[in-house]
Structures are given as structure tokens and as C-alpha cells.
Amino acid sequence: MAKINVTIWNEFRHEKEHEGIRKIYPEGIHGAIAKGIAADDLNIRLASLDEPEHGLTDEVINSTDVMIWWGHCAHSEVRDDIVAKVHKRVLEGMGLIVLHSGHFSKIFRAVTGTSCSLKWREAGEKERLWNIAPFHPITQGIGEYFELEHEEMYGERFDIPQDGQLIFVSWFEGGNVFRSGVTFERGYGKVFYFQPGHESYPNFYNENVLKVIGNAVRWARPVFFREMSAPCYPALEEIRSVDPNAIKAGVMQNADGSNK
């Protein structure tokens, strides 16, 4: 079986601008994830906001099987046209794994259709992630729960659609709960949101966090890539109800909503 082409996208600003965070992630969050999930069946590339086209050229997008996305303070700087291309590629089959503060990224809002709002608190508290789906590919090798000594609190109500299948639900020391691992299907693509990963804690070195991300990459691998189309489709059965006075507006449409 061919290797899975993984592109890890990182905003990559905190690490450059804040010395404390650079000490935690000297090669960037994307670099830490890449090292942490490295395996023979994965081809991993990195991309980040300040590269030309955010590192997401058509060539990169079109040769990516699964994209991992971390962003935080610069969501609004991500170009709409590039988000639209990534979204289109998800619908065509590409897997998408959105981490932590990526909940507010343009791409996650685009695939969910919701505000993705939530409560938050930067208090370095303990988080315990309960495994709700022990039979799911994403949780293999994970026990009933795992803990993170310090993590940013994200709390309900998390504004996501009802088709988010629960993988993890988190307990936070300060008294909140959160749907911290949730899957979606959009078009032909699979999407996984995973809550851990604030820039100021070293949780992308945690073996459970890395195992979950690695499992999610394999789970989100495309079955195929296929363009969405909205074909004018011939009748498969004889139609006898046709109105002889019928009008045809004659407007034909492309799959992107434009007219033919």
C-alpha cells in the first residue's frame, strides 16, 4: 500500500515571537508533531502561514492525503481562496485533522457550518480525556482515559453540529467538560477535531496525544479522491408524465454553482 502523504500546517508565529514557547517547540509545533508521528507508512511535509501561499500551493494540496491544522492568533490572516481550496479537497476525499485552537480556524468553521465557539481558560489545569469510542480506530492503544498534567481549558457549550461522533469527552480540574475528540464526514472526506495542544504546554510530546494523532491520520486516509459534480442525469425509466406545455428555463449549472 502506498504511503500516506501528510501535510502538517502550523501558523508558526508563537514559536517565533515568544521565547518561552520557542523553548518548548524549538522546531515549531509542526516539527514536534512530525517527529512524534514519524513512521514508515507516512510521507510528512510541513507548511506554515508565512510561506508563499501559506505553503499550500495547488501542488501541495493536491498531493496531500491527510492535512493536520494548528492555528491560533492569526486565523484571519489565512487567505480565503486557499481555505476554499483546502475545503474543496476535503469534500473530494482528503482527511483533515484540526488541533486545539484550530477550532476557530476558517477551515474548521467552513466544514462544520457553525461558529465553533466554546469557553476557555488558560490556567494550566489538569485535563482527563475519557475514551468514549474504545472500538474506534482513533482510540486503539488508548485506555479508558488519559491525562494531561497541564492544558488550556476548553469548555461546553461547543458549537458544533450534531453529527459530531464522540471519541473523547474531557474532564477539567476547574469544573468544565468538553467534547474533546469528535469526527465528522464531509463530502468524501473525514474530519477529526482533537482538543489538546496549547502552545504553552509540551503536550505534543505526550505519547497518548501523538498516538491519537497518528491513529487519526490512518483513519482519515482517503478511500479515493473524486470531484464533486452535479450532472444532468438521463432517465433510467420511461417518463410518461411529461407536460407537453412544459417550459425549460434552460439554465445549466456547474458543480460550483456557476452557470454553464
Q: Among residue numbers 55 through 74, which ones bind its own copies (CB under 8 A)?
A: 72-73
H or E stretch covering 60: helix 58-62
Return d(Cα 229, Cα 122) in angstroms, integer.
45
Q: Which of 66, 96, 118, 220 binds its own copies (CB under 8 A)?
A: 118
What DSSP character marks residue 157? P
Return d(Cα 23, Cα 28) in angstroms, integer.
10
Angle between helices 207-220 and 28-37 (to 10 degrees): 80
Q: Could you tell me the smallest distance in angstroms from the CB atom of residue 153 to its own copies?
A: 7
Torsion sign over Cα 2, 97, 210, 76: positive
Q: Cβ–Cβ contacts within 10 Å for residue 30, how many?
A: 26
Build a one-symbol-per-residue string for 74-103: x at contacts with its own copies by CB under 8 A, - elsewhere.
-xx----------xx--x-x-------x--
Q: Which of 43, 63, 114, 141 binds its own copies (CB under 8 A)?
A: 114
Closer to its own copies by CB, 44 or 95: give it. 95
Which range binds its own copies by CB under 8 A, 25-33, 50-58, 62-70, 120-128? 120-128
Q: Which of 25, 118, 26, 14 is nearest to 74 (CA)?
A: 14
Closer to its own copies by CB, 44 or 107: give it. 107
- Whether 126 and 149 have beta carbons less than 8 Å apart is answered as yes
Closer to its own copies by CB, 11 or 44: give it. 11
- Whether 25 and 70 have beta carbons less than 8 Å apart is answered as no
Q: Could you tell me the smallest distance in angstroms from the CB atom of residue 210 to its own copies?
A: 20
- Whether 90 and 114 have beta carbons less than 8 Å apart is answered as no
Closer to its own copies by CB, 44 or 214: give it. 214
- Residues 185 to 244 in contact with its own copies, rule: CB under 8 A: 185-188, 199-201, 222-224, 226, 228-237, 239-243
Which residue has cell 480540574? Answer: 173
Q: Could you tell me the smallest distance in angstroms from the CB atom of residue 146 to its own copies?
A: 12
Q: Could you tell me the smallest distance in angstroms from the CB atom of residue 193 to its own copies?
A: 13
Q: Could you tell me the smallest distance in angstroms from the CB atom of residue 175 to its own copies?
A: 3
Q: Cβ–Cβ contacts within 10 Å for residue 9, how many?
A: 28
Closer to its own copies by CB, 52 or 259: give it. 259
Closer to its own copies by CB, 79 or 157: give it. 157
Reading the block at residue 146, the C-alpha cell is 488519559
- Residues 149 to 178 in contact with its own copies, rule: CB under 8 A: 149-150, 153, 155-157, 159, 161-163, 165, 169-177
Return d(Cα 109, Cα 40) in angstroms, integer.
32
Beta bridge partners of 259: 253
Q: Could you tell me the smallest distance in angstroms from the CB atom of residue 131 to its own copies?
A: 7
117 contributes a contact to its own copies by CB under 8 A: yes
